[in-house]
Structure 1
Amino acid sequence: MTSAQARLFRHCLPPTLPSNRLQLLDAKTSIRSCQFSCINDIRKSNFSAAATGNTSNDSNSNTILPTQRLRRSVHFVPADNTKFLNKSLFLGADTIVLDLEDSVKDKHVGRETLHQYLESIKSSLPSLARKNTEILVRINPLSGSDDTNWKEDLKVGFMGGVDGFMIPKVESIDELRLLDDLLTNMEKEHSGNNGIVVPKVLLPIATETPMAVLNIASIAQGPRVVAITWGCEDLSAELGSYGTRNQSSGGEYLDIFRYCRSMCLLAAKAAHVQAIDGIYQNVRDMTGFVNEASEAKYMGFDGKLTLHPDQIAAVHSAFEPTQSEFEEANHIVSLWEQGSSIDGGDKRKGSLEYNGKMIDLPHYVRAKKVIARRSPACEHPIQHETNNIAPTDEIKASTSSGETSQTTVSNTIDKADDGTEGIFPRVNLGKHFEDLQPGLTIRHFLTRTVTEADNVFFTCLTLNPAPIHLDHELSKENAASLSSDPSSKSDGTGKPLFNSMFTLALLVGMSVPELTHGTTVANLGFSEVIFPKPVYPGDTLRAETTILDRRESKSRPTQGIVTFQHMAYNQRGEVVCKATRQALMKRKA
């Protein structure tokens, strides 16, 4: 047993045991349950340490294992839509699921689009997995005569560096064992020179066929499984039912689907993995969504599937403990661990009194779970009353032909009970000083086709009346002197030159998400800026950055100075801007 596993075992045990014989028997039962949980977590920790970037036996005890991380929102993104993919990491979801199944008609196009996107952000994936967003790929079902789709899906996701896979229509643990064997072989084949791998986790949808419902307990116990979720649309089709909700009594689920929801929760908790509630299909009904998310929280679910960006903030708010819930849980834990209460109770007797109520071990365990649900990024939890959260005016998504609903609008719902602004957890994607090793090159995923409007607006905003940026007739006269080949039209003959300060600003801006987002303290200056080729309206620019140097700050021990070399390229692969700059970066705490 490693030191990390030993710590996990110790943390599973109650801090003290009651001395009373009857209470001792209860405590032994509790310990056996905790030991089972610990053994199950140790079984999973064969891959969890690597999956969080923690491969040292002397790792920090605060490391979040895959089974422990927050998965309040598990958000679907169609894998064949480049616009939605590019926005997905900025939505604030705990987990995004890049969907190659239901929302993708042409599977080949979907895989190719997903491959290009994952390649563009590959340098950011390790830090994202450790800090904020978990990235999964929903593959196609393993059942069926053609197994080409799911195997190709698995390959694209694995080579793209995602954290794991969502498995639809899984019917038995045997399918998960097959995936485990395939992934194990792929991990061995692609392990680095140091032998370290980052194993992939699995999140099955465990109720989409009748056989799956009957086998759900064993599915939850499957290898690599860190959470299970449930769905009823496919099951409804297999059963031949005419719907999933009761049309005459408030829209509650029909009994059979309420049973599936409950079984998902029970199977997950028996297997000591997370339970994720299913989708709420009516993306326009935000009140109904919030009510169902709140019900899921009180049932014991750890999170909920989301289809629309507006649902992400709402589900985070629903699952975040209110201030009163958090304070009460903290008080109960503190009193239990101290062994006494303000009302004179004694934990050694197996219970204590708190606010006129008897508190015993189950209350203590539940209070610990309430505390664990609090977002680490929040100093104060978001408070809300579900009746006060109304649907936003700008929801414009709709469902059609089985495609997952999406929109570019994301209106955050973060108001507190008293009408004041709630505190919204920050999402930082950038790298810290320690991550920025000299020689590291990052290709940035943002690209930009620049327009004449960009040029005119920027020139006006900066009070620059130079006619080379604004005068088309003068640009025609200057075309020959700017082009190495006067007969060539590839240099934008006749078009005004782009303001080079815009090009520089755009280059630095495109570098922010994977590099300095939330981790920079100050931009210290530029030591070199050159523009080898001109930029014209209609050009498409991309960027990449190489780390040239870094050094610790003598006067600021929590910060360091990093030298970046930014390069901007046009659609022909020509360098249009090269900039070397120094920035003051945060160090890891």
Structure 2
Amino acid sequence: MAEQTLRPRRSVLYMPGANERALEKAKGIDADALILDLEDAVAPESKAEARDRVCAAVQSGEYGHRELAIRVNSIGTEWHEADIAAAAAAGPDAVLVPKVGSAEEVRTLVGALESAGAPDHTQLWAMVETPAGLLHVEEIAAAHERLTVLVMGTNDVVNETYGLHVPGRNPLVLTSLSLCLLAARAAGKVIIDGVYNDVKDLEGFEAEARQGREMGFDGKTLIHPSQVEPANVAFAPSAEDVEHAQQMIATFEEAKAAGQGVVTFNGRMVEELHVRDARRILAFHEAITSR
């Protein structure tokens, strides 16, 4: 999982699969990942056409460094099986499935992808957004190695629990985010925070992105290109973070080489766990800058 957890997914932008112009525009947007959507963003009468368009976009090879995921319609819908078959044939980086509610569903989805001939590089991403999914998230995260990323569906969490959207997010949403993050880390998986709905409220978006980063999320799902740059900033190490990590590692290694039992840096004791975190910061910075 080291390669997966170090791959930048700071900004994960939903793009409507039925909108040809949007799919073309996405080729020039500096998002780390794109979710080409066949679910919420596509009307029922346009599902088949959008499916063909999205799969053609994936196979075009014109999206550069951007990781490409296809969001299919959920299990039990009339479009799900055809979506899975088409996505498997297109071979994106990932197939994102909404409303995953159990470990058994994860194993069923993996079996469906494999039966449809999905290449080895096509991962399974699972949206956690229902009460059932939240209550079983630990089992979901650990259900199969092909599942590599959990994606929070915070709008659905609010909707299905009859909660409210409030600044800073309501207590149940914060509890849900925390439980899912713990489950992801316990299973060694990546986890992406939910969307921020008001595309005109940059200050509110930046605050929520900072909150997600402080909680430990790897990135944030986005609904508008204007959110990409602030997400990339929020979930990346700053220049100060990188310099601090470099200096801490150097100080620690010098102290250890000199046989010192206790290492201090900037007046604080430094242990192996702090150095591991510093090395992770530098490795993630390298992953971003070397693309």
Identify the match of residue 245 of structure 2 among 316, 323, 329: 329
CA contact (8 A) 2:91 2:122 kept: no
Task: Name the structure 2 match of 1:235.
Answer: 157
CA contact (8 A) 2:7 2:284 kept: no
Task: Name the structure 2 match of 1:244.
Answer: 165
Residue type at the aligned position of 1:102: D
Q: 1:157 to 1:70 in 2, by over 3 A?
A: same
Cα drift, residue 89 of structure 1: 2.2
Q: Does 1:261 align with 2:177?
A: yes
Q: 1:121 to 1:181 in 2, by over 3 A?
A: closer
Cα drift, residue 373 of structure 1: 2.8
Distance 1:218 1:377 in 2: 31
Distance 1:252 1:117 in 2: 34
CA contact (8 A) 2:193 2:220 kept: yes
Cα drift, residue 94 of structure 1: 0.9
Higher Cα Rg, which structure:
1
Within-5 A mapping of 1:73-112: 73-106=11-44, 109-112=46-49
Residue type at the aligned position of 1:228: L
Task: Name the structure 2 match of 1:119.
Answer: 56
Identify the match of residue 219 of structure 2 among 284, 303, 315: 303
Distance 2:195 2:58 in 1: 28
Residue type at the aligned position of 1:367: A
State the SS of the aligned residue for 1:65. helix
Identify the match of residue 233 of structure 2 among 296, 302, 317: 317
What stretches of structure 1 of length at least 5 have no aligned partner?
Answer: 1-40, 42-63, 191-196, 246-250, 380-426, 428-589
Q: Does 1:219 align with 2:152?
A: no
Within-5 A mapping of 1:55-70: 65-70=3-8
Residue type at the aligned position of 1:366: D
State the SS of the aligned residue for 2:200. coil
Task: Name the structure 2 match of 1:355.
Answer: 266
Distance 1:358 1:237 in 2: 45
Residue type at the aligned position of 2:39: E
CA contact (8 A) 2:154 2:195 kept: no
Q: 1:225 to 1:68 in 2, by over 3 A?
A: farther
Q: Which has the higher contact order (CA 8 A, sep 6+)?
A: 2
Q: 1:103 to 1:378 in 2, by over 3 A?
A: same
RMSD of aligned residue pairs (Cα, Å): 2.3
State the SS of the aligned residue for 1:166. strand
Distance 2:155 2:58 in 1: 33
Within-5 A mapping of 1:193-208: 197-206=119-128, 208=129
Q: Quick one: percent identity of the two aligned structures?
A: 30
Q: Name whichever structure is richer in helix by fraction.
A: 2
CA contact (8 A) 1:244 1:257 kept: no
Within-5 A mapping of 1:406-555: none
Distance 2:88 2:73 in 1: 14
What stretches of structure 2 of length at least 5 have no aligned partner?
Answer: none
Distance 2:252 2:126 in 1: 37
CA contact (8 A) 2:72 2:97 kept: yes
- The C-alpha deviation readout for 1:103-162, integer Å capped at 9, x for no partner, is 1112x523323423532562427xx6xx611110111111x4x4x311111122222221
